[in-house]
Amino acid sequence: MIRSGEPSFRESVDLMFNRAVRHMDLSPGLEQKIRVCNSTYTVRFGVRLRGKIETFTGYRSVHSEHMEPVKGGIRFALNVSQDEVEALAALMTYKCALVETPFGGSKGGLCIDPRQYDERELELITRRFAYELIKRDLINPAQNVPAPDMGTSEREMAWIADQYARMNTTDINAKACVTGKPLNAGGIQGRVEATGRGIQYALREFFRHPEDVAKAKLSGSLDGKRVIVQGLGNVGYHAAKFLSEEDGAKITAIIERDGALTGEALDVEDVRQWIIKTGSVRDYPGATFVEDGAKLLEAECDILIPAAMEGAIHRGNAERIQAPLLIEAANGPVTFGADEILRKKGTVIIPDMYANAGGVTVSYFEWVKNLSHIRFGRMQRRAEEARHELLVNELERLSEDKGLGWTLSPNFKKKYLHGAGELDLVRSGLDDTMRTAYQAMREVWHGRDDVEDLRMAAYIVSISRVAATYQSKGL
């Protein structure tokens, strides 16, 4: 939700784009070509529900087709608008370029409160929306590939994939028309948690650079860092869970739509189970409840993770944000105005187009898996294990023959003998992607005197890649 006096979400993205291109050497024509959204399709369709026809409004926006297919999620939320999907589609263009997934940018949305419908009704609505987009090639494995976003999940993606397959019965690549599908419908392991996992890998990479950590007035590693997370949806939940369970971070506050919880170190899994059971964070026994949840965005902590809506940090509260490091798990959680205020305060922001790119990265792996019609690791896994076993056996034989008394630790043997399966490969590919993209941003951040923040660096890296693609096409 964007407040009055602030630019709209799309304007905010454009202003951030403009701020970066001022430091680049692009022709005004090319600059304009990259900035604008190519097209937005609006559809209104009726579905007969509970004895009467209900009309729904949906969008699919294509920001840039410098590479195809174009990629980006489909969001189900009441406040979906053309402005919002266009902003999100633009962010997809820059995100894909930054993490080198070979896609243009797109986004879709349906104005609906999914909680008001049962599963069967949602299936009817989703299939009908998909039908409208499929018949216009706005869902197509070669042209436009949606994925989950706010309010949608594996379930909706399975319906969309099935709808596409029914309408394209001879398309052997039909499954690649959408990503984020359940495993049994052509999905890939590790996709559900990919965006949260990406946040973890991004922070790990950030903390590998003491110079960068010092810019955020922090030191050391993630261990013991106090983290506040806003939104315990798919992204916020996984990010907070992994950071607390695997990196020693302490979740000191969880902000949800109906209030927030604070404590020394909240048990993320337990809170999530409570929300699933009761529908709210209220009355959770293991923490203090705070009615005005948004106030906690301003609480003292080391790392703030906005993982809910765009515009959560705006001109009205930016000055009071105390976190020295902010990682944007949501798309556009910091408005252009707030970004300016935070920059002046010296807050380090790890920007959305990098921070939450784990989702589209693993979507890319899923799309490749669908096109190659084989699970990652299926051919190599046992061959790899057999080769490692040869070496282990040979080492043990040598030790025995020569009386060296060497023993390989059981933990080493177990790890070394394990051949990489699909999940291992997905994690390795995601980790590599997050590290490589951070380093590309960092090079610009540290290497140029006129670039003061990571967001500008991210825009410069991605815009120059999009520009290079256009230029090689002769534009």
Where on the chain is the footprint of ligand GLU (CB under 6 A)? 71-73, 147, 149, 179, 331, 356, 359-360, 363
> Least CB distance from residue 358 to ligand GLU, whole Å?
8
DSSP 317-380: TGGG---SEEE--SSS-B-HHHHHHHHHHT-EEE-HHHHTTHHHHHHHHHHHHHHHTS-TTTTT
Which residue number has the CB closest to ligand GLU?
Answer: 73
Q: Do 139 and 152 touch, CB atoms closer than 8 A? A: no
Residue 76 or 274 having the CB closest to ligand GLU: 76
Provide the token pair at 50: 């509970």
23 phi/psi in degrees, rounded to 5: -100, 15
Q: Do 231 and 195 touch, CB atoms closer than 8 A? A: no
> Least CB distance from residue 60 to ligand GLU, whole Å?
13
* 205 alpha carbon, distance to own chain's centre: 16
> Least CB distance from residue 363 to ligand GLU, whole Å?
3
> Least CB distance from residue 50 to ligand GLU, whole Å?
30
What is the Rg, in whole angstroms, of the alpha carbon atoms belonging to the chain? 23
Q: Do 83 and 59 touch, CB atoms closer than 8 A? A: no
Amino acid (1-letter code) at residue 332: G
Range 102-139 burial, b when 16+ CB lie within 10 A, else e: ebbbbbbbbbbebeebeeeebbebbbbbbbbbbeeebb
Angle at 329 between CA 324 and CA 331, to 5 degrees: 115
Angle at 451 between CA 445 and CA 456, to 5 degrees: 80
> Least CB distance from residue 151 to ligand GLU, whole Å?
11
Amino acid (1-letter code) at residue 163: Q
**How far is the C-alpha of 121 from the C-alpha of 56, rounded, in Å?**
13
Residue 38 or 179 having the CB closest to ligand GLU: 179
Catalytic one among 71, 95, 107, 175?
107
Residue 150 or 338 having the CB closest to ligand GLU: 150
> Least CB distance from residue 73 to ligand GLU, whole Å?
3
| Residue 107 annotated to the active site | yes
Residue 163 or 331 having the CB closest to ligand GLU: 331
Three-state DSSP class for residue 40: strand
Residue 17 or 207 having the CB closest to ligand GLU: 17
Q: Which of 416, 395, 390 is nearest to 406 (CA)?
A: 395
Q: Would you please indicate which residues are annotated as catalytic (active-site) residues?
A: 107
